[in-house]
Structure 1
Amino acid sequence: MKIWTSYGAEHSLNLVIIGHFKDAIEAEEFESLVSSLTNFLVNDSDFDVDSDRFSSGMLDYLGKKNLFCLSPQQLGQLLYDMRLEREENKIVISSDDDLNALTSLLIHSGAKVEMFSAHDHPHEEHGR
């Protein structure tokens, strides 16, 4: 008889990212950008999550959007499970994964960014 022993731990970040924009129009444009980019990755591109280079189609798309702030690995993060909500001039993103791609996009789009773990700050108001 073999006995297998293992240890586990919760690796969930319970990450909250809040982007504060100057006005609601900028927040809406950011929400649209993330939606458009995610839809392109899922439906219209030959994007390979494991690649360390962009395909020519992906480079064309990113060039049209003027997005040169993300690596191929970061783009793959847009396919992770996350929740994005817009509330006037504020974007609230929550996920159990590290989403530094969205932090980069928020900064690139002109937002003031807050990040915290809802495990450590459950009392923080974060759009819910």
Structure 2
Amino acid sequence: MKIWHSYGSEHSMDLVLIGKFETVSGAEAAIERMEALKALAEAEWSDDDWRLPEKRMPDALVDELMKLKLYELGRSDVDIYAFDHSVERDGSTIHIWTEESEVQGFLKVLLHLGARVEVFSRHDWNDDGTPRKAAGD
């Protein structure tokens, strides 16, 4: 019998990111950029090619990030937009739901555009900010 010892990150984070902007136009700009990043991530998916120096930041990716004025994003920040996530806007507030623990790409866009950001796991908190009650509480 062979026993496999490994580390896996399959655990669902069930994260919520909330970005609160001063204006509705700030939230709309964030949504526009996130939609563009999702399309870019799907078109330029790295498939781990980022490990090779010549594949880290293809010219097409750099050009699109420059157009979006998202200079601080890297390859892995863009790739996160290809994974399953949901984004909704309610006035000047954006909610993002993801199972991933890597959320840097979302945070960078929200912060770049001036949002105040809150991040929490729905394992412990409800969407309205109240704590979840444990089964025995």
Counterpart check, 1:76 vs 2:79: yes
Counterpart check, 1:114 vs 2:118: yes
Which residue identity lines up with residue 38 of structure 2 in the other structure?
Answer: T
Deviations 1:16-59 (A, max 9, x none): 0000001111101110111012113324xx44241152101111
Partner of 1:48: 46
Partner of 2:19: 19
Which residue identity lines up with residue 60 of structure 1 in the other structure?
Answer: D
Once the two structures are overlaid, the 10-residue window that deviates more, 56-65 or 13-22, is 56-65
Equivalents in 2 of 1:32, 1:71: separation in Å? 18
**CA RMSD of superposed structures (Å):** 2.5
C-alpha deviation, 1:10, in angstroms? 6.9
CA contact (8 A) 1:49 1:73 kept: no
TM-score (norm 2): 0.77
Q: Number of residues paired by the alignment?
A: 122
The answer for unaligned runs of 5 or more in structure 2 is: 130-137
Task: Give the percent of matched residue pairs that are identical in Structure 1 and Structure 2.
Answer: 28
The answer for unaligned runs of 5 or more in structure 1 is: none
> Which runs of structure 1 show a deviation greater than 6 angstroms over 4 or more consecutive aligned residues?
3-6
CA contact (8 A) 1:82 1:96 kept: yes
Deviations 1:64-98 (A, max 9, x none): 11111112112110111011000000000011112
Partner of 2:104: 100
